[in-house]
Amino acid sequence: LTSLDLAGGGGSEVVRKRWRRRWEWLAVVLRRNRRWLQR
């Protein structure tokens, strides 16, 4: 990923959506892991 992709320039909306989806998935996984660790 280049700085342009991170900034969302150059018409990289697809990349932004892909990363957003990945971060949402990561957040869900971390939440589940946190529950497991709290046991």
Q: Residue range 14-33: average pLDDT?
A: 89
The pair of three-digit structure tokens given for residue 18, joined into one six-digit string: 């892909």
What stretches of the chain show up as alpha helix (H) in DSSP?
3-7, 13-38
Q: What angle do CA 30, 8, 3 make, to 5 degrees?
A: 85
How many Cβ atoms sit within 10 Å of the Cβ of residue 5? 13
Q: Residue 24 pLDDT > 90, yes or no?
A: yes
The pair of three-digit structure tokens given for residue 24, joined into one six-digit string: 């949402």
Domain residue spans of the chain: 3-38
Q: Residue 34 pLDDT > 80, yes or no?
A: yes
Amino acid, single-letter form, for residue 5:
D
More confident position, 1 or 32: 32
